[in-house]
Structure 1
C-alpha cells in the first residue's frame, strides 16, 4: 500500500493581510493540488488551514499520513504536544487560532499523522510548488472571508 504524503504552505501579504494556502496531496502515482485565497488573515492561519483543508479532502480515514510543511508553528504545536495543553486549558492566555486548532483536532483524530518540517524557499520542489499556489491564491480576485480571523480582530 502506498503512503499518503501531503505538502502544505501558507502565505500572507502583510501579517495580517490578504493570504492564501497551497496543498499537494500525493498517493501512489496520484497527485492533487488545492489552494484558496482570503482577503484578510495571517500567515500562521494559512499554514494551519492548509493542513486542515488537506485532511478534510481525504475520503479514506484511519490511514497513516505524512505532512511536510515549512511552518515550525504547526509542526511544534502538534509534535511537541502544545496543542494538547491548549485544548486542556481552553486556550488560556490568549492562544491564537482557537477556531482552526479545534477544527484540526477534530479531523486529525481520524488519521495517524506525522509532521515533518522542511526549509521554506529552498530546494524542495513540492514545498516550492505549494508556495506558488499559496501566493497566487493570496494575490487572486474574489478572496474569501476568513471569518475566524475577522470576527475576532475587526
Structure 2
C-alpha cells in the first residue's frame, strides 16, 4: 500500500488503541497476531496537534502512540475510513477488504467481510453500533471468537466423537461430545454444530471458524453439492446457527493446524451419544 501524505492509521486491539503514521508499521502486528487477537484498522488524515497532545498526556508508548480504548471519544480523530489490511487468518496473507464508508471511531465499525478472499464470510442481521470506549456498551471485540472444530471416527463408521475449541481474547473453551456410531463426516458436522451452539450460548456475535474437513467447509459455503440426505440435514442445521451471528467466516486448514480440536474429538469417542463435556481456561 502506497503511503499518503498526512495519513494516519488507528488500530484497535482488545482494549488498546494505537496510532501509526505509516501503514508499514502495522505489518508486524498483523503477522504476529494469533487467532484470539481481533484487529480493527481505520485511516484518517491530518492528525490534529491537540489530539497528539492528548495522546501523550494519556500515556505515550509503542510506535508512535498507544492509549486505553476507554480514553477514546468520538471527536478525537474526526472522520475515519475502514482500512484494508492483510488478514492474519487467511492462508497466504490475502487481503481483507473492509467497507470503505467513512465513519467515526466511537461508533464501532463492523467490517464488510463479504469481499474476503480465500474463505467465506457471511454478514448477517444488522445491529446497533457499540462504543469503542466507556461503559455505554461492550466492546465489539469482546463479542468475537474463533472456533476450531474436528470429528473422529474409529472405523468410519464406528465409535465417533466431536471436538471443538473456542477462543476469545480472555478464555479458551474445550468441548467434547459423543456422537455414537457414525462416519467421520457426520462427526465433523456434529463438532461444528457443537461449537456454534456453544458460541451463541456464550453471547458471541462475530465468529471465525476453521476446520480440516474440506467437505464441511465447502458445503457450508455452497461450493460443493450435498448428495447424502443426512449430510443435507446437518448442513442445514449448521447454516441456521451460522445465520444467527452478525458475521461468520469459515475456512479450511491443514490437519497439523487443527491438533487441539482433534485431541478433543478423540477424547469424545469414549463418551455416550449426546454426552457433552467442557472445560474453560483463562488466557
TM range (shorter): 0.7 to 0.9
The equivalences for 1:17-36 within 5 A come to 17-36=158-177
Q: What does residue 52 of structure 1 align with? A: 193
- Name the CA distance, whole Å, in 2 between partners of 1:31 and 1:45: 25
Give the unaligned 5+ runs of structure 1: 87-92, 146-154
Structure (1 or 2) with the larger CA radius of gyration: 2
Alpha-carbon distance change, 94 to 117 in structure 1, aligned in 2, over 3 angstroms: closer
Alpha-carbon distance change, 20 to 94 in structure 1, aligned in 2, over 3 angstroms: closer
Residues 50-70 of structure 1: CA deviation (Å, up to 9, x unaligned): 111111112326x22100100
Tell me, yes or no, if structure 1 residue 118 matches structure 2 residue 245. Answer: no
Tell me, yes or no, if structure 1 residue 69 matches structure 2 residue 199. Answer: no
- Name the CA distance, whole Å, in 2 between partners of 1:51 and 1:68: 9
The equivalences for 1:4-23 within 5 A come to 4-23=145-164
Structure number with the bigger relative contact order (C-alpha 8 A, sep ≥ 6) is 1
Alpha-carbon distance change, 41 to 47 in structure 1, aligned in 2, over 3 angstroms: same
Q: What does residue 78 of structure 1 align with? A: 220
- Name the CA distance, whole Å, in 1 between partners of 2:254 and 2:158: 23
- Report how many aligned residue pairs link the two structures: 130
SS of residue paired to 1:66:
strand
Tell me, yes or no, if structure 1 residue 108 matches structure 2 residue 242. Answer: yes
Structure with greater proportional helix content:
1
SS of residue paired to 2:273:
coil
- Name the CA distance, whole Å, in 1 between partners of 2:214 and 2:243: 21
The TM-score normalised by the length of structure 2 is 0.43
Residues 62-92 of structure 1: CA deviation (Å, up to 9, x unaligned): x221001000011111224447xx6xxxxxx
The TM-score normalised by the length of structure 1 is 0.75
* Aligned partner of 2:259 among 128, 136, 143: 128
Displacement after TM superposition at 1:129 (Å): 1.5
CA RMSD of aligned residues (A): 2.0
Q: Which segments of structure 1 move beyond 4 Å, counting only runs of 4 or more?
A: none
- Name the CA distance, whole Å, in 2 between partners of 1:82 and 1:113: 18
Displacement after TM superposition at 1:5 (Å): 0.4
Alpha-carbon distance change, 78 to 99 in structure 1, aligned in 2, over 3 angstroms: closer
Give the unaligned 5+ runs of structure 2: 1-140, 275-283
